[in-house]
Every structure is written in C-alpha cells, then in structure tokens.
C-alpha cells in the first residue's frame, strides 16, 4: 500500500464519489500498466525475518533498507509518526512501501509495455540487492512465509496497520495471517468507459481463480506442507467477508460505477485521518461520515481523501478505484512477476481477446464462480468449473492472452513482442503442475522434508 491520500475537499453527495471513480476513464491510447509486488526480507545466515530496526548483532533492518534506497534513488521519504515507512518516486514514478509484516513492496510506475515493467523490476531488484547485500539480507518471492510463526514475524510501525490488526480478529479468523504472512503480485489496468469497466471487471472477476491457480506458490506454513497450493488465497476466504470476495453483484444487469459505490459505502470503515492523526473508526459507516453523524467523530464530515483511503481498504478479488486492480495471484520469482501483468494485459487491453473471454465466462452462475474460488486454493489447476477442468480452460484463456499480446505488437529493442512473458505460466498450463506442486515434490524428496531450501530456490538473485 502506498501513501495515504491527502485531499481535504469536502464531500457533499454520492455523485461526487461516482465522479471520483469515473475520472479514471482514459482513451485506449493512454492505457497504462502498473505492477505491484511484495517480497519477504530475510537474513541470509539463519533465514530469520528482518525487523524494522536492526536486532542484536545485526547491521541493518528494514528502516536501513529504506534509507539505502532513498540515498540510491533520491526518492522522497513517506513518514508515519516520525518513522520512514516508504518512499515516493518522482511524480507518477512509483513508490516503495511496507506491508504489515515487513513485506517490501514496489508499486510500479504506470508504463506502456511489459518490456518497461521488466526494466523497472530488474532495476528495482538490482538497487535493492546492492543496498541489502552489506547487511546480509535477501528477499524471498513466495505467496506465504514458509517458516515463521506469526509471533516471529516483525510488525511495521504504521498506525493504520495497528488499527487493522486490532479489528481483524473481530471479522474473521485469518486476517492477521493475511496481513503479516502473505505476499502478492498485482497489476493495475485502465478502462475507457463505464461499459468498458464493467466488461473488464466481470471477465477478470470470473477468471481471477484461474490466475490464482496459475500463480499458486504458497504450499508451506511454519516449516511444513500446509495442504494448499495457494495458502494466501485460502487465507482470504476467512479474512473479512464484508470487504473481500467475488463481488457477485458485478454481474447484475444494472452494474455501474454507482453500484460499486453503493457496495463500498456499506463496507465498514477502518480509520479517518486528520492531519497526522489516525482515528480508529472501525465498524463505522462512510454514509454516517458524509452526513456528519459518525459516532466516533461527531460532526466530522467526509473529504475526498477519506473516500480514496476508504477504497484502498476494500479487498475484493478485483478492486475498482480509478483503475482495476487484479488481486488473485501469489508473489513468486521474477519471471512470474512479469507473467502476471502480461496475462491480464493480453486479455483486457485487446478488444477481441476481451470479448472472447467474456463469451467463455458469461454463462457461469454466481454459484459456479464462487465454487471455483473456494476450491482453487487447494486443488489448483485440478479444480473444475461447470464440469470443465481448469487446466483445459487455462490453455484456452492463455491462447486468448497470447493472441491479444501479439496483436498489441509492442516490441522491445530486439524485436520481441510481449508474448515472451507468458512462457512460465504457459509451461504450468501445459504440464498441469503449479509452482506450488513442484515445490512440494522437492520438499518431500530432494529437500528431505525441510522447507529451508526454498529460500535458495526462490530468493531474488543477489547483486
């Protein structure tokens, strides 16, 4: 999560909330790709987690990584109660932020091609590797921390997370695991009109469980197999039902910006930020804040920043803000971090592919979509939808994405188009074996029942 928004413009009507979202509309020529990914910092010598401040005998903690990246990049620090908790790049140039358990996140700049995403990612990993190496710190790309208990996991000094951590156990059993022990890769994509948003939202919601299966990479918990291919995705099934899930209403004939706003208005709030203070208003209603009758802050009225911040605390499988955010994939190694945006760009940024994908999913019932969502974390590509094997569907949908990328014809300096970034998930679809399954086989075989070798297997290369 990047910096909380600051905009004190008062809100007077629901229409303004709708207009805030619709302001994200862009012509297709201005569509961009914004990729975000998280990774777990760890000490290379003993595979322990990295706290915010260095522990005894350690030369650096996460705050030192941020300081080193600030020196290297010249980005502006993001402060929370005097603590540096992120960095903001030049205007529109991305950001670095911290998830609750120290997951180190790059929120990439909006770029035109996956080739640019690749250059950005490799540059980030090179910079981070150079900063981390003197401290003996590495980074692991995986969907769930494989070794540490929740008690062993560090806590970052971000006040919004303290409010969330206090609230999570009241609305689900797995919210704290979501916060402190999961990592994801996401891509933010644009829409041209309300109708374009609706079509893209529906297709991406229906196919989000397919992405979960293709990118499944979280089979370990606390040093053991956990029985799932995507434990990260399973955790989301019991985190906070009011703000997560498959958004069945998005498939109603009347789906619109207003319908999403109405849903968002009914999701309980976490906090209201005024100046440098986070007010805990958990369970409160945004409708009450707009009317000046929020019980925790009597007389206080909603601002544009409150709305933007509230939208950032909603966690459906696909999130609508001024763009659409694909949220279904586990974090993974470099090639998988690039495959995720390629998969969705090929499907959603080519009209022929988008329409063909809609033809595949439009007949699925809400029960079928939810059933797929519920079975994929364990079954992966062995799940079924309307009697059809997901592995078979994966190959069909990947063909659509590949064709969409080929028609985009965005080439790099060597004349290669963006289809090359699909290769790792094409191999998964063709074999029917996810990264999680391959890791589990190694753990049971060559690794002798241990999970520690995954830190070498999936650590980003040192530079």
Phi, psi of 118 (to 5 degrees): -60, -45
Q: Please, what is the average pLDDT of the chain?
A: 96
Choices 3.20.20.70, 3.90.550.10, 3.30.590.20, 3.40.605.10: CATH for 14-454:
3.30.590.20
Which of the four pLDDT bands, split at 50, 70 and 90, describes residue 306? very high
The whole-angstrom separation of Cα 22 and Cα 84 is 33
pLDDT at 3 over 70: no
Q: Which helix (H) or strand (E) holds 120?
A: helix 114-132
* CA pair distance 135, 63, nearest whole angstrom: 12
Q: In this predicted structure, what is the pLDDT of residue 223?
A: 98
CA torsion through residues 370, 374, 380, 382, sign:
negative
Handedness of CA 296, 298, 303, 307 (dihedral sign): positive
CB 201 within 8 A of CB 323: no
> At a CB cut-off of 8 Å and minimum separation 6, what does 409 contact?
417
Q: CB of 63 within 8 A of CB of 53?
A: yes
| Residues 435-461: tens digit of each pLDDT | 999 999 999 999 999 999 999 999 997
When pLDDT is cut at 50, 70 and 90, the band that residue 1 belongs to is very low
Q: Is the pLDDT of residue 2 over 60?
A: no
Q: pLDDT of 266-298, one tens digit each?
A: 999 999 999 999 999 999 999 999 999 999 999
Domain range summary for the chain, segments of one domain joined by +: 14-454
Give the pLDDT band of residue 4 (cuts 50, 70, 90).
Answer: low
Q: What is the band of 9 on the pLDDT scale with cuts at 50, 70, 90?
A: confident
Q: 0.85 cut: is pTM over it?
A: yes
Residue 463 in this model has a pLDDT that exceeds 50:
no
Q: Which residue has the higher pLDDT, 100 or 463?
A: 100
How far are the Cα atoms of 41, 59, 251, 271 from residue 278, in angstroms, in the given order?
Answer: 27, 32, 36, 6
Degrees, nearest 5: CA angle 357-182-431: 45
- Name the pLDDT band for 156 (thresholds 50, 70, 90): very high
Tens digits of per-residue pLDDT, 21-56? 999 999 999 999 999 999 999 999 999 999 999 999
Residue 81 region, left (φ>0) first, then alpha (ψ -120 to 50), else beta?
A: left
- CA–CA gap between residue 214 and residue 376 (Å, rounded): 10
């Amino acid at each position: 999560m990047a910096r909380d928004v600051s905009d004190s413009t008062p809100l007077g009507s629901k229409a303004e909330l709708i207009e805030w979202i619709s302001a994200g509309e862009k012509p297709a020529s201005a569509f961009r790709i914004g990729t975000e990914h998280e990774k777990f910092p760890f000490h290379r010598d003993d595979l322990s987690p990295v706290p915010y401040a260095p522990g005894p005998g350690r030369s650096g903690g996460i705050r030192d990584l941020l300081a080193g990246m600030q020196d290297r990049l010249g980005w502006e620090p993001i402060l929370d109660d005097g603590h540096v908790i992120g960095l903001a790049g030049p205007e529109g140039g991305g950001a670095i932020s911290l998830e609750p358990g120290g997951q180190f996140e790059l929120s990439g700049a909006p770029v035109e091609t996956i080739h640019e995403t690749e250059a950005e990612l490799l540059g980030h990993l090179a910079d981070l590797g150079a900063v981390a190496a003197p401290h003996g710190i590495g980074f692991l790309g995986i969907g769930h921390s494989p070794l540490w208990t929740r008690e062993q996991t560090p806590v970052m000094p971000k006040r919004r997370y303290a409010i969330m951590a206090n609230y999570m156990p009241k609305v689900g059993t797995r919210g704290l695991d979501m916060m402190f022990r999961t990592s994801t890769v996401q891509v933010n994509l644009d829409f041209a009109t309300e109708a374009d948003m609706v079509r893209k939202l529906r297709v991406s919601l229906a196919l989000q469980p397919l992405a979960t299966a293709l990118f499944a990479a979280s089979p370990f918990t606390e040093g053991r197999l956990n029985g799932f291919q995507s434990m990260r995705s399973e955790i989301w099934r019991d985190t906070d039902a009011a703000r997560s899930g498959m958004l069945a209403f998005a498939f109603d004939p009347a789906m619109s910006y207003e319908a999403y706003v109405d849903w968002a208005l009914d999701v309980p709030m976490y906090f209201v930020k005024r100046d440098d203070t986070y007010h805990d208003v958990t369970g409160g209603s945004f409708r009450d804040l707009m009317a000046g009758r929020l019980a925790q802050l009597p007389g206080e009225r909603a601002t544009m920043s409150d709305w933007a911040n509230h939208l950032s605390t909603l966690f459906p499988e696909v999130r609508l803000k001024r763009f659409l955010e694909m949220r279904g994939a586990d974090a993974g190694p470099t090639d998988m971090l690039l495959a995720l945006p390629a998969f969705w760009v090929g499907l959603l940024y080519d009209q022929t592919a988008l329409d063909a994908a809609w033809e595949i999913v439009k007949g699925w019932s809400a029960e079928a979509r939810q059933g797929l969502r519920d079975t994929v974390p364990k079954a992966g590509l062995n799940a079924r939808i309307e009697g059809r094997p997901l592995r078979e569907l994966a190959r069909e949908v990947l063909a659509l994405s590949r064709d969409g990328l080929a028609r985009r014809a965005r080439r790099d300096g060597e004349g290669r188009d963006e289809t090359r970034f699909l290769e790792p998930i094409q191999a998964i679809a063709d074999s029917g074996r996810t990264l999680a399954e391959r890791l589990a086989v190694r753990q049971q075989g060559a690794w002798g029942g241990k999970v520690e070798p995954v830190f070498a297997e999936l650590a980003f290369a040192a530079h």
